[in-house]
Amino acid sequence: MTAAARCVVVAVLLVAGGCGGGGGDTRETHIRLVVADKNIRREGVECAGARPFQHVHADARYRIVAGDGGIVAEGTLPAGHAENAEPEIDWGVERIPTFCVVDFEVDLPQHPRYRLRLDRGRPLEFSAPPRASDEPIVLVVG
């Protein structure tokens, strides 16, 4: 192979790498879905949304829609875990008022705005996280 041909091959590989390769312009984003149900649970226990938020549970389908209406991510939720709803209060007992928090990661292409849709409940709107931020996107159900 001549040097010129080798250059062409390298250029083609570089272009192909930029076009494919794990979604190019997508970004792994941590979403923290907080069900503000204040249900009484042991802290840390596996949970789902308490009524009337029972549609937030393990295996429930979600879709993330970009501002233009296209679906940019979809999947099923993992189980949540119970977190103290009022951490400033020392309840002094095992079972306390909690929120059910569902953490999951999605690959999001760059868009200014998104909506998280579950099979029930109103869509939850959020903006693209700042480039430098590692903070999760916190969405509150309730």
Partner 1 sequence: MSGGARVLLLLGLALLLAGCGGDDETPGGAADLPGPVPAGTTFKDPPPGALSAPPFAAELLDGTRVRGADLWRERPLVLVFTASWCDRCADVHAEAARAVDEHGDAIGLLGIVAEDDREPALGYAEELDLGHPVAVAAERVWLNYAAREPPVVVLVARGGKVLRGWSGGVGASTLSRRLAELLAPEPR
Sequence-distant (6+) residues with CB within 8 A of 92 are none
How many residues make contact with partner 1 (CB under 8 A)?
20
* Assigned token pair, 96: 């306390």
Tokens 């389908």 appear where?
A: 61
Closer Cβ to partner 1, 27 or 61, answer by number: 61
Question: What stretch of H or E contains 19?
Answer: helix 3-19
* Assigned token pair, 4: 């010129």
Quick check: 37 binds partner 1 (CB under 8 A)?
Answer: yes
Quick check: 96 binds partner 1 (CB under 8 A)?
Answer: no
Quick check: 61 binds partner 1 (CB under 8 A)?
Answer: no
Judged by CB under 8 A, the residue of 8, 45, 89, 138 near partner 1 is 45
Closer Cβ to partner 1, 47 or 72, answer by number: 47
